[in-house]
Amino acid sequence: MPKVLIIGAGGVGAVVAHKCAQVPEVFSEITLASRTQSKCEAIARQLPVKVRTAQVDADNVPQTVALLRDLKPDLVINVALPYQDLHIMDACLEAGVNYLDTANYEPPDVARFEYRWQWDYQERFAKAGLMALLGSGFDPGVTSVFCTHILKHHLDTATEIDIIDCNAGSHGQPFATNFNPEINIREVSAKGRYYQDGQWIETEPLTHKQPFVMPEDLGSLNVYLMYHEELESLARHIPGLKRARFWMSFSDNYLKHLEVLKNVGMTRIDPVTFNGQQIVPLQFLKALLPDPASLGPLTRGKTCIGCQVRGMKDGRPKTVFVYNICDHEACYREVCSQAISYTTGVPAMIGAKLMLTGAWSGKGVFNMEQFDPDPFMAALNAHGLPWKVIENTVFTA
Ligand code: NDP
């Protein structure tokens, strides 16, 4: 019976542990390991089944290899930070274990988001007969599966993709991020970038915006063009794609705080000397901001994340929008987390389930859009992230 090791006991790790525990027929043995073992133990106490916990510094490859050799899991679900991706992949190769994550590798000293570093592992994973599934969260993750679902069932060709990530919820805090503050602020402050006609077009951070009217009377929000990693893999794997963009909603309040923090240097990621000590301002800011895991009981409202794909069907232009709406309070009632952690943790569990049952299989390094979307889409409905389709309504300009 399959054994899984979850690395990372933050907001997302907690949801992955809860959701794996709900599917004991697949995840018969679960170990939750992280840098701070007490966080694993606190999560373990919330679960209906017994899980093991362990301490590991995933940046220390020999330490991770030793843990893998001791536990002998079939799969590592990496929900630590993107900085750990390559170290955990190295450890998996050495110990002969399959790998899954939800965010692409980022070097700590430069906010660059690209798959190159992880795609470079293709040959090594293939040679070892192992599988690595990259980006099995919501975005990236479900967004790629929504696109391949639309291509498989609603269109003959896809030419334009717009991914729209809206959070219409509120945590009532003056300023907080819904997932790891350091990763979130690095992502949001980076230049925008989108794919058009085989080229990448760069924009200044958060300079392109448009209103987005959410379905199901959720209201309207401003969404801002950003770079997001699935654009890179979709542009590579979807033939004939002419344009791919990613939009995310931010409240005016969030943007006001971010602008001030940036202007005073608090979002810098290079070390500065303070009282004879080297500190990275963004890491210091993270220490001051609310822990995303603590926002669970405070957050109200809903998220709406979807993909609008334009293309051709039977010789005619067609637009299809597939989306999920997720309620922060319902997530908290189910797994003690807000919807951002929930919408990431559920797809991580589903990707793991498909790998462990053989529904998605292969040797090498894969992105989500390389597999048949059907079993994943069915599992989303079964495990708490139901989706809907709207045809021929245009949501973005
Ligand atoms: P948190 O900061 O809440 O949790 C990160 C966890 O990783 C913490 O438990 C932390 O330990 C642990 N960790 C950090 N460094 C190490 C290390 N060297 N060794 C072992 N454990 C370590 O982050 P989130 O839960 O919010 O996010 C987790 C991941 O999910 C991130 O990679 C994020 O980018 C990704 N994500 C993906 C999304 C998607 O849709 N695809 C959306 C949202 C997030 P400690 O407690 O000691 O700090």
Cβ(246) to ligand 1 under 6 A?
no
Predicted confidence (pLDDT) per residue in 313-333, tens digit: 999 999 999 999 999 999 999
Q: What confidence tier does 120 reach under pLDDT thresholds 50, 70, 90?
A: very high
- Of 73-82, 102-111, 132-141, the poorest mean pLDDT is in 102-111
Per-residue pLDDT, averaged over 37-53, amounts to: 97
Q: Which of 5, 12, 78, 335 to mutate to test the pocket of ligand 1 (most atoms within 8 A of CB)?
A: 12
Check residue 109 and give its pLDDT: 84
Tell me how far the alpha carbon of residue 34 lies from the centroid of ligand 1, in angstroms: 9
Cβ(181) to ligand 1 under 6 A?
no
pLDDT above 90 (res 395):
no
Per-residue pLDDT, averaged over 194-201, amounts to: 97
Q: How far apart are CA 13 and CA 10, in angstroms?
A: 5
pLDDT above 80 (res 397):
no
Q: How far apart are CA 154 and CA 122, in angstroms?
A: 31
Torsion of CA 246, 168, 325, 360, to 10 degrees: 40
Check residue 293 and give its pLDDT: 81
Per-residue pLDDT, averaged over 296-319, amounts to: 96
- Of 35-39, 184-188, 339-343, the poorest mean pLDDT is in 184-188
Q: Which of 81, 104, 294 to mutate to test the pocket of ligand 1 (most atoms within 8 A of CB)?
A: 81
**Chain region(s) in the chain for CATH 3.30.360.10:** 142-337+384-391
Cβ(180) to ligand 1 under 6 A?
yes
pLDDT above 80 (res 91):
yes
Tell me how far the alpha carbon of residue 393 lies from the centroid of ligand 1, in angstroms: 36
Among residues 34, 162, 36, 185, which one has the least CA distance to residue 106?
Answer: 185
Check residue 112 and give its pLDDT: 80
Check residue 44 and give its pLDDT: 98
Name the fold adopted by 3-134. Answer: Rossmann fold (3.40.50)
pLDDT above 80 (res 396):
no
pLDDT above 80 (res 361):
yes
Per-residue pLDDT, averaged over 185-193, amounts to: 91
Nearest ligand 1 atom, CA 136: 41
Q: Which of 68, 79, 228 to mutate to test the pocket of ligand 1 (most atoms within 8 A of CB)?
A: 79
Q: Where do we find the tokens 């995840």?
A: 27
- What sign does the dihedral 62-63-66-71 (CA atoms) show? negative
Q: What confidence tier does 178 reach under pLDDT thresholds 50, 70, 90?
A: confident
Give the up-direction half-sphere exposure of residue 45: CA atoms within 13 A in the CB hemisphere.
6
pLDDT above 90 (res 108):
no
Cα 322–chain centre separation: 18
Nearest CA to ligand 1 atom 13: 80
Give the up-direction half-sphere exposure of residue 140: CA atoms within 13 A in the CB hemisphere.
28
**Chain region(s) in the chain for CATH 3.40.50.720:** 3-134
Tell me how far the alpha carbon of residue 18 lies from the centroid of ligand 1, in angstroms: 16
Q: What homologous superfamily is domain 142-337+384-391 in, according to CATH? A: Dihydrodipicolinate Reductase; domain 2 (3.30.360.10)
Tell me how far the alpha carbon of residue 292 lies from the centroid of ligand 1, in angstroms: 10
pLDDT above 80 (res 77):
yes
Check residue 336 and give its pLDDT: 94
Cβ(8) to ligand 1 under 6 A?
yes
Check residue 179 and give its pLDDT: 85
Check residue 163 and give its pLDDT: 98
Predicted confidence (pLDDT) per residue in 362-379, tens digit: 999 999 999 999 999 999
**Secondary structure percentages of the chain, helix, strand, coil, to 5:** 40, 30, 35
pLDDT above 90 (res 52):
yes
Predicted confidence (pLDDT) per residue in 247-290, tens digit: 999 999 999 999 999 999 999 999 999 999 999 999 999 999 99
Instruction: Decide which of 1 and 335 is more confident.
Output: 335
Nearest ligand 1 atom, CA 12: 25
Cβ(160) to ligand 1 under 6 A?
no
Check residue 237 and give its pLDDT: 96
Cβ(267) to ligand 1 under 6 A?
no
Please give the share of the chain, as a percent, with pLDDT higher than 70. Answer: 100
> Which amino acid belongs to residue 20?
C
Tell me how far the alpha carbon of residue 104 lies from the centroid of ligand 1, in angstroms: 12
Q: How far apart are CA 366 and CA 118, in angstroms?
A: 10
Check residue 92 and give its pLDDT: 98
